[in-house]
Amino acid sequence: MVASVFQDPRAQATSAVQSALKMIKGEPVETDVWVPFQLIRPEQLTVFEQYYK
């Protein structure tokens, strides 16, 4: 493996809830919400495995 991409589900869920709360309050909501991904290299794999078990 050269690299993989981690799409952060916690950050995605947090953004979704924040957008929903804004909608409930009648506040403007962004059409597109960018949740950055993280590039994972082989030397970082054990850190991600331990943190996201």
Note whether 42 and 1 are within 8 A (CB). Answer: yes
CA distance 11 to 43: 23
Note whether 28 and 22 are within 8 A (CB). Answer: yes
Residue-wise pLDDT tens digits, 1-53: 788 888 888 899 999 999 999 999 999 999 998 998 888 888 888 888 887 77
- The pTM score is 0.67
- Per-residue model confidence (pLDDT) at position 47: 84
* Other beta carbons less than 10 A from residue 25's beta carbon: 8
